[in-house]
Structure 1
């Protein structure tokens, strides 16, 4: 067993260096003077013994320190706190070279607060938690070796997975909140048959997209509720305000403020039928399949109206929240429509780019397994209904 380090770093000193990394981002780690982080990285890489990698020192903190930071953030345990930590340091996919102001703004969006409020309140908590995990790693005495961390982090905490399906298609699976998507043309959002969006403080996909698409003032106050207002306008134009539409109906809106992230459209798919006199919903897998098929039909219809044309679409596991479907049942309803559309697209020369988004790594594991193995066999093994 590795020995316990005789001298643990002080939390305040580690926090000061984490704040340096926040300002510079991991892309500039080698330029930073971060001796405490270097010592922790060397100690863990050497299993508690002296003489770790030379490039982990204060003069050239690089790969080993970045692995250390990723390991510390991965220990936070997921959720908004971990996501905000990844954005704050530039550890999230595609953010290594983002300016500090952009990373802070995205971290603030995770909590749905203004940048100024995040800077004064949430950021210190986020960075403090990173520092606490770093001190905890130092106290492990090498039990968590940074030599083994990159593989563990990549396998369990990666936020994107590119999966080649049983056919020729390649699907990207995102493991984070839906409002963190970037450069995806269309997001499919499950909603109820009244097209009534939930309040912005809720945690569902539709509530998260409503919140992310809204325009806020510098204090976090609502200026324009873009997605909500456009969806109400669609219902009014189609004569459905206050009454239910048929399950599987699709209503398109803009993405509101999400346009700044490269998201151009939201397709609201009515799959949840409210159960009278309760707060519960019923979702039928056949309605999910029908809704996804109609979403692709709308994508084909709208694509050429945009410059450049719409070509990428991201789907959550529709109905797997309050709708009551298991993730396995939801995927079993979504994928047949996706697979059929991909086949039709190949025939007519349309190259759709398909993404899935889930928040839990266990669900990402399931989606990856279902994409690469026999679906009917997996349903039988897990007791699901095809």
Structure 2
């Protein structure tokens, strides 16, 4: 009987090992304990000769080669010591050169870009291992996805229904903080002081029948009569009034600007405020827009500054904030890029000792699984 394919690799475990390689460099690969990368190397076809770092170096080089070129791939090559002539460079020199690829400071690269770059390397390793081992995109064995013939009910691919609320403990700067991941539509949130909503730089809300986070919050915040007729489009009206007060109607605000409204009818669910973060920059004469990770980080940092202001003058003060993956829909960012931009601001706030209750909200369990792996990995370095 053929042996079953190996268990799919865990992205968080692989990312932790890739970060370990970044610190040591490929010149010291044989000294490191890297069980996940060794497992990925077992599935590689045998080639001619061997790289100095053995099969693990081959896994890393193959993963980086699949990143599509450009700044992402170049920064990965410098970060890991895979670029020509850099395998024996100290970690600080490799990080400095990778930061130059993006044209940012070393500290900014460390806090934001590096997490994204190494996360993409880990993603390529996991995807490559899944493909070679015969796992499907959800991380299940392809053979196991087909029910066996014979009597009895087909078994579900999971032993339990995935939780809609995942309470995690995350290590941040020598302390452990609670983080909750909600896996459902944003309008089902309960008892959270501030919900963050993505906006374009004109603070123009989408039509309420659409499915985006902003449209869902607009729809849920509206007041209706007993027959369902619209009585007051509260969130939309308040956001327009905010723009008028701040001289912004009809012109674009700077990316990262945050407008505050009430939660409208969502107050009945314990939601007190909606913070609208301008991250989407419309392209002229098109229906498209661009989202930059730096604007997300700037906007979320502003969210925490406004939270602190409200905490000083409100009774009771706000304590909790919920963040969607800004820009990971039509904004064009991957969930990994969005999380990296969000977490840069969240981590900076927590590092200074802030005691906010942090929540994330996503609609799909696959994204919640990714968030759980990423949050497990952030305390590794």
Class of the TM-score when normalised by the shorter of the 2 chains: 0.5 to 0.7
- 1:352 maps to 356
- Residue 316 of structure 2 aligns to a residue whose secondary structure is coil
- 2:171 maps to 166
Whether the 8 Å CA contact 1:193–1:245 is kept in 2: the answer is yes
Deviations 1:308-354, CA, capped at 9 Å, x for gaps: 2100000000000111101010001000100111122x2xxx42100
- Aligned match for 1:326, one of 311, 318, 334: 334
- How far, CA to CA, are the matches of 2:279 and 2:212 in structure 1? 14
- Aligned match for 1:365, one of 359, 369, 377: 369
- The gaps in structure 2 that reach 5 residues or longer are 1-149
- 2:213 maps to 205
Structure 1 residue runs of 4 or more that deviate by more than 4 Å after TM superposition: 374-377
Task: Give the Å deviation of 1:143.
Answer: 2.6
TM-score, structure 1 normalization: 0.57
- 2:202 maps to 194
- Aligned match for 2:183, one of 153, 175, 192: 175
- Residue 267 of structure 1 aligns to a residue whose secondary structure is strand
- How far, CA to CA, are the matches of 2:290 and 2:208 in structure 1? 22
- 1:60 maps to none
- 2:223 maps to 215
- 1:52 maps to none
Task: Give the Å deviation of 1:158.
Answer: 1.3
Task: Give the Å deviation of 1:144.
Answer: 4.9
Whether the 8 Å CA contact 1:166–1:373 is kept in 2: the answer is no
1:207-356 matches, cutoff 5 A: 207-344=215-352, 346=353, 350-356=354-360
1:18-37 matches, cutoff 5 A: none
Aligned positions, number: 231
Task: Give the Å deviation of 1:374.
Answer: 4.4
- How far, CA to CA, are the matches of 2:209 and 2:324 in structure 1? 19
- Residue 261 of structure 2 aligns to a residue whose secondary structure is strand
- 1:143 maps to 153
- How far, CA to CA, are the matches of 1:289 and 1:302 in structure 2? 20
Deviations 1:168-217, CA, capped at 9 Å, x for gaps: 11200000000000000000001100000000001100000000000011
RMSD of equivalent CA atoms: 2.2
Task: Give the Å deviation of 1:220.
Answer: 1.1
- Residue 218 of structure 1 aligns to a residue whose secondary structure is coil
- How far, CA to CA, are the matches of 2:249 and 2:151 in structure 1? 62
Task: Give the Å deviation of 1:307.
Answer: 2.2
- How far, CA to CA, are the matches of 2:341 and 2:302 in structure 1? 13
- How far, CA to CA, are the matches of 2:368 and 2:159 in structure 1? 16
Deviations 1:232-289, CA, capped at 9 Å, x for gaps: 0000000000100000000000000000000000000000000111111100000000
Greater fraction of residues in helix: 1
Whether the 8 Å CA contact 2:167–2:179 is kept in 1: the answer is yes
Distance 1:141 1:262, change over 3 A: farther
- 1:59 maps to none
Shifted more, 367-376 versus 199-208: the winner is: 367-376
- 1:152 maps to 159
- How far, CA to CA, are the matches of 2:168 and 2:281 in structure 1? 32
